[in-house]
Amino acid sequence: MSDYSYSRNEKLKKQKIIDTLFQKRKSVNAFPVKAFFAFPEEKMDNELKAGVGTSKRNFKKAVHRNRVTRLLREAWRLNKQELKTLLESNQQQMIVFLHYSDRELPSFELVNSKVQIL
């Protein structure tokens, strides 16, 4: 059951790591979810760190932004295990940021299917 957690040390929090992500980023798009990713050179405490978000421009109400963020986190939590095992076998580290870019509130099925594609 612990394989499906999204613990504190898996969350993208440090400003230095976030800056690295957005400087050296590559992206993959499965509309309306876009994934930015990078492979950092410095050693991290975990092989896979992730963050999620959406823009205030698309969702004016914080309730809606929180809902989309919650859906993204849940989809990531359920689908990260395959990527994590691949990184462990190759002894690599990865930073991922999932961004929702549509203006309409999504269903969980839509977000989950797009995260699986990514």
Report residue 2's pLDDT band, with 50, 70 and 90 as the boundaries.
Answer: low
Mean pLDDT of 75-85: 91
Straight-line distance from the first to the last Cα atom of the chain, in angstroms, rounded to the nearest whole number = 23
pLDDT of 1 over the 50 cut: no
Mean pLDDT of 14-29: 88
The pTM assigned to this predicted structure is 0.89
What is the strand order of the sheet 33-38 is part of? Answer: 26-30, 33-38, 94-100, 48-54
Mean pLDDT of 59-70: 94
pLDDT tens for 45-57 read: 888 999 999 999 9
Place of tokens 């990184």: 87
Mean pLDDT, rounded, of the chain: 90
Report residue 99's pLDDT band, with 50, 70 and 90 as the boundaries.
Answer: very high
